[in-house]
Amino acid sequence: MKKRVVITGMGVVAPNAHGLDNFEEALRGGRSGIRFIPELQELNFACQIGGVPQGFESTRKSYFDHEKLLSLNDNIGYASVSAVDAWTDAGFTMPDSDDDRVDWDTGVIVGSGVGGMDTIAKTVVPMVNEGKVRRMGSRIVEQVMNSGTSARIAGLLALGNQVTSNSSACSTGNEAVIEALWRIRMGLAKRVLAGGSEGASPYIWAGFDAMRVICRKFNDQPEAASRPLSATASGFVPGSGAAVLVIEDLESALERGARIYAEVLGGAVNCGGHRMGGSITAPNPEGVKRCIRAAVSDAAISPEEIDAINGHLTATFADPGEVKNWAAALERTPGNFPYINSTKSLIGHCLGAAGAIECVAVALQLSKGFLHPSVNCEDIHPDITEFKDKIPQKCMDYPELKTIAKAGFGFGDVNSCLIFKKWEE
């Protein structure tokens, strides 16, 4: 029999809130974290808005000593604060740096989509170009290596199981949770801190701006800019931040009397192979459907048990297609379709952090029995009008809510889908 796997701790640094209580309040209130960013205007970006965690400079100073702060760029800073929050939320204490004991049963899988681009852009490139390599100092590699986030977290918490950083574009955060699920099921770890993070940097967002896939029509109305499922959606709003979830073997969680937010019933990842309409930037609909079905099958539930969907839903032309893929994969009609919302409507698309932050939103909704509003879609896209009643425009109390499916689809035609269930004794 498969080991059962649950969520026992969470930490989140999102554009609209830091910390679980604040995040829940922001979700319930439909509070947007999207702001005008003057630097993007100065740099001639078409999109001059973004989702950036507010007041993070003082947050990180309250978490880490002067020595550690020197090595924390945005990406690693968001991840580190989220990890510390998740760890203490799960009932553990922070180890002393002089304490040599290592927790060999706990690992870290926290990745990012692009990573430490701010360090590369602001330090590495100018100093190398000026012939000043000798003066760059010792802190570059640890901030730009792809595993910088997980490595830092392992050191903060003295964790000795597998420590790695995955990367699968916008699917990264979900994929980390699925990797954690598998590792625990295999009996290779008791718990894994899983999640994703992404820095806030024009150098990360520039490529997306150049592709014209990010929102350029709402610079004067930042809070209305992220419009998943809307007829007037005009591209995603870039976001940043991090979230980390403590994914734990149920036995271990029960043994130590941990509070459980939700059960991770199952998950699946795949790739559409850039065929059948898929490409490096677009999903193969067949791949998406297969991934959703595989997750449902792994969870050993039937599709009609799914009460709600937290979609990938970024506010691009792909949203209506995503809704139809869900309907086809779950064999549901508009009449019996699950509720569907987009956390990105509130925080933008946090790239490598998106899946992780949205998994935290899912776990909170399940554990507290509500669905947050999917804002800015009062004008539902004409292709999905018949699903209108299934898209909560206001926060919805939903005490009977049991099962949520969460998906992420990323550049590279990669897909991930998770099935979470409310925890009941």
Partner 1 sequence: MDEQGIFSKMVEILRAYTKDPSILDKATMETHILNDLKVNSARLVDVIIKCEDVFGITIEDDDADKIGSIGDAVGIIKIKLG
The CA distance from 235 to 304, in Å, is 31
The answer to whether residue 385 forms part of the interface with partner 1 (CB under 8 A) is no
Query: Min. distance of Cβ 229 from partner 1 in angstroms?
Result: 49
101 vs 135, which CB is nearer to partner 1?
135
The CA distance from 307 to 305, in Å, is 6
Backbone dihedral angles phi then psi of residue 417, each to the nearest 5 degrees: -145, 135
Query: Min. distance of Cβ 145 from partner 1 in angstroms?
Result: 13
Query: Min. distance of Cβ 65 from partner 1 in angstroms?
Result: 7
The answer to whether residue 138 forms part of the interface with partner 1 (CB under 8 A) is yes
139 vs 293, which CB is nearer to partner 1?
139
Query: Min. distance of Cβ 139 from partner 1 in angstroms?
Result: 7
Tokens (6 digits) for 236: 């995603």
The answer to whether residue 131 forms part of the interface with partner 1 (CB under 8 A) is no
List the interface residues with partner 1, window 220-249 (CB under 8 A): none
The CA distance from 349 to 236, in Å, is 6
72 vs 318, which CB is nearer to partner 1?
72
Query: Min. distance of Cβ 76 from partner 1 in angstroms?
Result: 16
First to last CA, the chain: 19
The answer to whether residue 70 forms part of the interface with partner 1 (CB under 8 A) is yes
DSSP state of 101: -
List the interface residues with partner 1, window 37-66 (CB under 8 A): 65-66
Sequence letter at residue 172: T
Query: How, if at all, do strands 191-198 and 106-112 pair?
Result: parallel
Query: How, if at all, do strands 34-36 and 17-18 pair?
Result: unpaired
Query: Min. distance of Cβ 269 from partner 1 in angstroms?
Result: 36
Query: Min. distance of Cβ 370 from partner 1 in angstroms?
Result: 44
The answer to whether residue 99 forms part of the interface with partner 1 (CB under 8 A) is no
Which of 132, 68, 113, 126 is closest to 94 using CA atoms?
68
Backbone dihedral angles phi then psi of residue 340, each to the nearest 5 degrees: -140, 130
Q: Are 404 and 306 in contact (CB under 8 A)?
A: yes
The CA distance from 419 to 79, in Å, is 24
The answer to whether residue 399 forms part of the interface with partner 1 (CB under 8 A) is no
The answer to whether residue 137 forms part of the interface with partner 1 (CB under 8 A) is yes
Binding residues for partner 1, total number by CB under 8 A: 9
The answer to whether residue 67 forms part of the interface with partner 1 (CB under 8 A) is yes
List the interface residues with partner 1, window 157-196 (CB under 8 A): none
67 vs 130, which CB is nearer to partner 1?
67
Query: Min. distance of Cβ 70 from partner 1 in angstroms?
Result: 7
Q: Quick check: helix, strand or coil at residue 291?
A: helix
95 vs 303, which CB is nearer to partner 1?
95
Tokens (6 digits) for 33: 């974290």
Phi-psi region of 413 (alpha: psi -120 to 50; beta: other; left: phi over 0): left
Q: Which stretch binds partner 1 (CB under 8 A): 25-33, 81-89, 119-127, 136-144?
A: 136-144
132 vs 275, which CB is nearer to partner 1?
132
The answer to whether residue 4 forms part of the interface with partner 1 (CB under 8 A) is no
Tell me the CA distances in angstroms from 64 to 11, 15, 16, 77, 173, one per residue in order. 16, 21, 22, 9, 24
133 vs 210, which CB is nearer to partner 1?
133
The answer to whether residue 274 forms part of the interface with partner 1 (CB under 8 A) is no
Q: Which stretch binds partner 1 (CB under 8 A): 108-116, 118-126, 134-142, 379-387?
A: 134-142
The answer to whether residue 96 forms part of the interface with partner 1 (CB under 8 A) is no
Contacting residue, 21, 39, 57, 97, with partner 1 by CB under 8 A: 97
The CA distance from 31 to 289, in Å, is 31
The CA distance from 133 to 87, in Å, is 37
Backbone dihedral angles phi then psi of residue 393, each to the nearest 5 degrees: -95, -20
The CA distance from 256 to 112, in Å, is 31
The answer to whether residue 139 forms part of the interface with partner 1 (CB under 8 A) is yes
Give the residue numbers annotated as catalytic, written as ranges.
170, 312, 349
The CA distance from 329 to 323, in Å, is 10
List the interface residues with partner 1, window 403-422 (CB under 8 A): none
Tokens (6 digits) for 181: 């699920």
Q: Which stretch binds partner 1 (CB under 8 A): 29-37, 137-145, 175-183, 374-382?
A: 137-145
Tokens (6 digits) for 355: 């899946």
Give the residues lining the site for partner 1 (CB under 8 A). Answer: 65-67, 70, 97, 135, 137-139
